[in-house]
């Protein structure tokens, strides 16, 4: 007899055994779906989706032969984690003689005309690393040494392997003997693997319209509307389908698509789906569940032929809270339960609460169902008013000089042994075409610069080298109103703080470039005379500004830094300036800028000041006197 039910390629269970057997000492509880199956045969279900049905036992173990305490594993699997007792399959060899000769009880398929013969006369031939060979060369080389002429069907390449099908066992055995008999141009022997197989996909006929109607009625009987649960366990042996000679094999693409379409059209609100014991070895055909059954929370894939946890990646879009994977080959890949949970499951389904019927530790995650507004960014953090005054005075003096035409006076701001480095983000485009091009050549990005000598060379040592380097950088105008300051460390002998904001480059003719840049600068300072600060380390990071940063940049009135003395004011202007500074609380420099921008109109300047202060657009440095 042919190998209708013995092909080990998919590790199939023997369907010829009667589906309702019960072992001694094991009652109906061992097979939760048996009762509902008997009820369906007796006509105790309603005829359509959504009607009342038996209480669902969807997510329980559905095999009466193995219970939770079953531990029948062979000795070779003792060192592997085998979740919840996957039984051994001794005697289920690929070419098991007894089964090939037809021993065992007769099953549903054996009596169907032409069913087994048409399926299991096919074999799949696999050539590892076959991608590197030309199809014509490989097929010709095999034909030349094969003892039996054959016709390769559906030649295709999958990853690095080449595959094709042949239809008779004699050709399959002859091809198997060709393994390691051909030497390729690189001197390697060509391997040939042959396994029993289902027919090529294009030969597997779609279900006929009348078959689909029977399938729909069968699924309706298996649907429990009270729990939105659909039980498709071992559907290929369903009596309603078998009696009509309808074969539903869920590892066939067309069959699975038909099932999902029926679910989509009739019960899209489905919450629980049982696909156990259906010989499913790949999950490609289940990817549509994410969009077509969006409410699915529980999925039973136990007792199938899933060989690797990578198959679960195809279901990552599902928001599952319960999942069954027990008694799949992939369970043998994990040494312990912790690895099984964390590696195979939690990475793909972070909300999962139950695995194989066992409660899991509560998930830890940051995803929330309800929209949550991110709290607004806080302003500067100084720690104390004393430090605030010290830092703001330092920054006002530092950037007044930095944005002037001459940065040489910054020598007084740096310690004799000071160091400076500059960093920019990595860009794949030509640096010369980037607005950061002037800074890129000196960037000490430690993620990109691995050479220790280059890292040292890009550091600027001593205050003379630091200021000389700063003088070579493009001329700038900083938006002091955009500055935020965070104090990192403060002691009696050291103050470290980070200042962030935006600036734009200024060319010689006074016009600013279109691009606005953002910076973050870490100053490490020590006390200097007269309540000042002296920089010992300066780390500057420069990037392109975001759209929001550009929109908010340079909107507040800001004095134009200049190294030239303040122009002489008339007596009425001097009197108005003093009065405005007293009323607004701003220092003389910012008060004068406000009055000048409003053509020395006191009332209009006061109105603009009040408006900008209410909007929070006047920086703290404007009030330091």
- pLDDT-derived band at 137 (thresholds 50, 70, 90) equals very high
Q: 190 pLDDT exceeds 80?
A: yes
209: exposed, middle or buried (Cβ count in 10 Å: 0-12, 13-18, 19+): exposed
- 205-209, 297-301, 447-451: which is most confident: 297-301
- pLDDT-derived band at 24 (thresholds 50, 70, 90) equals very low
Give the C-alpha separation, 463 to 170, whole Å: 86
Q: Is 202 helix (H, G, I), strand (E, B) or coil?
A: helix
* Residue 411 near residue 464, CB atoms below 8 Å: yes
For the chain, list the domains and their CATH numbers.
123-202 (3.30.70.330), 205-359 (3.80.10.10), 385-552 (3.10.450.50), 571-622 (1.10.8.10)
Determine the pLDDT at residue 11.
37
Range with lowest mean pLDDT among 9-13, 251-255, 405-409: 9-13
Pairing of strands 484-490, 495-506: antiparallel
Convert the pLDDT of each residue in 27-62 to its tens digit: 444 444 444 444 444 444 445 565 554 444 444 444
* Cα angle 590, 594, 599; round to 5: 145
Convert the pLDDT of each residue in 333-376 to its tens digit: 877 776 677 667 888 888 888 888 888 877 665 555 566 677 77
* Partners of 421 in beta bridges: 539
Which of the two residues, 100 and 338, has the higher pLDDT score? 338
Q: Which positions ≥6 away from 545 have C-beta within 8 Å?
A: 502, 515, 516, 517, 518, 553
* Residue 197 near residue 172, CB atoms below 8 Å: no
Determine the pLDDT at residue 250.
86
Determine the pLDDT at residue 427.
65
Q: 98 pLDDT exceeds 50?
A: no
Q: What is the pTM of this model?
A: 0.39
Which of the two residues, 322 and 90, has the higher pLDDT score? 322
- pLDDT-derived band at 439 (thresholds 50, 70, 90) equals confident
- pLDDT-derived band at 540 (thresholds 50, 70, 90) equals very high
H or E element that contains 35: helix 32-41
Determine the pLDDT at residue 103.
38
Determine the pLDDT at residue 95.
36
Sequential DSSP letters for 489-543: EE-SS-EEEEEEEEEEEE-TTSPEEEEEEEEEEEEEEEEETTTEEEEEEEEEEEE
Looking at residues 208-212, what average pLDDT do you find?
A: 85
Q: What is the DSSP letter of 81?
A: B
Q: Is 273 helix (H, G, I), strand (E, B) or coil?
A: strand
- pLDDT-derived band at 428 (thresholds 50, 70, 90) equals low
Task: Using the CB atoms, write b or e for 53-78: b if 16+ within 10 Å.
Answer: bbebbbbbbbbbebbeeeeeeeeeee
């Amino acid at each position: 007899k042919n190998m209708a039910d013995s092909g080990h390629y998919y590790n199939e269970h023997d369907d010829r055994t009667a589906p309702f057997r019960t072992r001694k000492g094991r009652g109906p509880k061992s097979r939760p779906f048996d009762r509902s199956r008997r009820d369906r045969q007796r006509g105790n279900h309603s005829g359509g989706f959504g009607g009342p049905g038996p209480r669902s036992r969807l997510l329980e173990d559905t095999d009466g032969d193995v219970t939770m305490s079953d531990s029948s594993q062979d000795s070779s699997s003792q060192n592997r984690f085998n979740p919840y007792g996957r039984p051994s399959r001794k005697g289920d060899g690929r070419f098991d003689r007894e089964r090939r000769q037809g021993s065992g009880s007769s099953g549903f398929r054996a009596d169907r005309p032409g069913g087994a013969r048409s399926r299991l006369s096919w074999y799949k031939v696999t050539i590892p690393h076959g991608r590197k060979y030309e199809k014509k060369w490989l097929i010709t080389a095999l034909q030349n040494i094969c003892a039996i002429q054959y016709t390769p069907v559906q030649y295709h390449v999958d990853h690095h392997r080449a595959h094709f099908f042949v239809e008779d066992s004699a050709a399959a055995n002859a091809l198997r003997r060709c393994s390691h008999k051909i030497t390729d141009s690189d001197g390697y022997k060509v391997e040939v693997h042959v396994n029993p197989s289902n027919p090529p996909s294009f030969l597997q006929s779609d279900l006929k319209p009348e078959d689909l109607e029977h399938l729909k009625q069968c699924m309706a009987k298996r649907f429990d509307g009270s729990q939105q649960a659909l039980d498709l366990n071992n559907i290929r042996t369903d009596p309603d389908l078998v009696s009509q000679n309808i074969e539903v094999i869920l590892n066939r693409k067309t069959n699975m698509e038909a099932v999902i379409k029926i679910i989509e059209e009739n019960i899209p609100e489905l919450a629980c789906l049982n696909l156990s014991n259906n010989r499913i070895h790949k999950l490609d055909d289940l990817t549509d569940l994410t969009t077509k059954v969006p409410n699915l929370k529980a999925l039973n894939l136990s007792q199938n032929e899933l060989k690797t946890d990578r198959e679960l990646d195809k279901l990552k879009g599902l928001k599952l809270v319960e999942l069954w994977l027990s008694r799949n080959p992939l369970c043998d890949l994990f040494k312990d339960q912790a690895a099984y949970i964390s590696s195979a499951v939690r990475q793909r389904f972070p909300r999962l609460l139950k695995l194989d019927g066992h409660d899991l530790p509560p998930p830890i995650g940051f995803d929330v169902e309800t929209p949550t507004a991110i709290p607004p960014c806080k302003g500067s953090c100084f720690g104390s008013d004393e430090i605030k005054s010290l830092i703001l005075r330092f920054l006002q003096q530092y950037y007044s000089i930095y944005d002037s035409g001459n940065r040489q006076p910054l020598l007084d701001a740096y310690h004799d042994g000071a160091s400076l480095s500059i960093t920019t983000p990595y860009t794949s485009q030509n640096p010369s075409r980037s607005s950061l091009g002037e800074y890129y050549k000196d960037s000490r990005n430690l993620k990109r610069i691995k050479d220790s000598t280059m890292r040292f060379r890009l550091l600027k040592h001593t205050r003379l080298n630091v200021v000389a380097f700063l003088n070579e950088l493009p001329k700038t105008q900083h938006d002091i109103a955009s500055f935020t300051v965070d104090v990192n460390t403060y002691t009696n002998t050291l103050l470290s703080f980070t200042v962030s904001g935006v600036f734009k480059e200024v060319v010689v003719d006074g016009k600013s470039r279109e691009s606005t840049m953002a910076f973050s600068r870490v100053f490490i300072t020590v006390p200097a005379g007269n309540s000042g600060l002296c920089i010992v380390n300066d780390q500057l990071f420069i990037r392109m500004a975001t759209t929001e940063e550009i929109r908010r940049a340079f909107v507040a009135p800001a004095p134009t830094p200049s190294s030239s003395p303040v122009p002489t004011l008339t007596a009425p202007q001097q009197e108005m300036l003093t009065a405005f500074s007293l009323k607004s609380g701003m220092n003389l420099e910012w008060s004068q800028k406000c009055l000048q921008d409003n053509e020395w109109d006191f009332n209009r300047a006061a109105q603009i000041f009040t408006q900008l202060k209410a909007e929070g657009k006047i920086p703290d440095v404007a009030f330091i006197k």
